[in-house]
Amino acid sequence: MTAAIEITGLTKVYGEKRALDGVDLEVPVGSVFGFLGPNGAGKTTTLRILTGLAHATDGTARVFGRDVVTATNDVRSDIGFLPDVPGYYEWMTAPEFLRFAGSLFGLGGSVLEERVKALLDLAGLAGVTTKVGGYSRGMKQRLGVAQALVNAPKLLMLDEPTSALDPIGRKEVLDMIASLGGRTTVFFSTHILSDVERVCDQVAILHEGRVVTQAPIAELKARYATSRIVVGVTGDADAFAERLAGEQWASDVARKENGFLEITVADLDLARRAVPALVADAGAGLTRFETGEVSLEDVFVELVGGGR
């Protein structure tokens, strides 16, 4: 099956700076795809090239198999786009803006009216009669998602849709995105890890203009799976730490500030059996035993570097 987005060797140079440095990316049809990266990684530049707002220095970008440079209107007919800071005609109301957006796709009549009504409901803006100029940031973002859906797009591209929102606004926009899962392909750029974990099933991590990894989230976690155990013991914790460090299943043992030990383990089941036995063998008591799975944040920090 043709990928929703297929990017090969995409490069964008601004003067001396390489904003994108040979990006390769494939977004499967039907996925909710998180395009994750720190600020300045090149996420917005990638989206601007995909939507025709900017031109690539080198490489190709295809949407449903069509080149974004040569098939501009065909590509745009199939996509919905929300930029990071959407600008509106502030003299319009939300229904007027949605009707105008629909008219640019050639929509009209009852089809457009029904769609506008449904989208206003989805965005929680039904019955709001004020002009867009008076909207809060959250209302503007929800209207932004709604206008991006007016053509029932096969691909929805959202650039940092939650970055400037308060927790309630963020939840509302994420709920809107989550509700689209399975109906349309969603390509969603963000630097907020928890947003990706919450709504995405696939992720790519972009760093300094390069894709450092791309995979389903579950597979990515499994690939970097190193579980952690936090252990508290009575008696000499340092001596116990030395003893743990000699075990093959313990790849790292770190002394935490509160006196607990954090053990990085390759085989969690083995560690669960071995730690209590070692504690008993040392004649100590177990005061804390807590296991934790690797998070996307752990993977992100490992790939992008925690020293940033």
Partner 1 sequence: MRGFRAFLAKELREILRTWRIWVLPGIVLFFALSGPPLAKFTPELLGTFVNSEQTGMVIQLPDPTYVDAYLQWTKNLQQLVLFAVIIMFGGIVSAEKRAGTTALVLTKPLSRTAFVLAKYVSQALLLIASVVVGALLTWGLTYAIFAEAPVAPLVQATGSWLALGLMFLALMELFSSAMDSQAGAAGLGFLGFIAIGIATLWAPAVEYSPAGLLGAPTALVIGESVALGWPVGSTLALTTLLVATAVLVFRRREL
- C-beta of 91 vs 225, nearer to partner 1: 91
Q: Is 249 in the site for partner 1 (CB under 8 A)?
A: no
Least distance from C-beta 64 to partner 1, angstroms? 15
Binding mask 257-286 for partner 1 (x = CB under 8 A): ------------------------------
Q: Is 86 in the site for partner 1 (CB under 8 A)?
A: yes
Site for partner 1 in 39-68 (CB under 8 A): 48, 51-55
Q: Is 82 exposed, middle or buried (0-12, 13-18, 19+ CB in 10 A)?
A: buried
Q: Is 222 in the site for partner 1 (CB under 8 A)?
A: no
Q: Is 87 in the site for partner 1 (CB under 8 A)?
A: yes
Q: What tokens were used for 89?
A: 């005609």
Among 5, 101, 196, 265, binds partner 1 (CB under 8 A): 101
Q: Is 127 in the site for partner 1 (CB under 8 A)?
A: no
Least distance from C-beta 102 to partner 1, angstroms? 9
Among 39, 58, 100, 178, binds partner 1 (CB under 8 A): 100
- C-beta of 53 vs 111, nearer to partner 1: 53
Q: Is 112 in the site for partner 1 (CB under 8 A)?
A: no
Site for partner 1 in 131-160 (CB under 8 A): 144, 147, 151
Q: Is 106 in the site for partner 1 (CB under 8 A)?
A: yes
Residues interacting with partner 1, by CB under 8 A? 48, 51-55, 72-73, 76-77, 79, 81, 83, 85-89, 91, 100-101, 103-106, 144, 147, 151
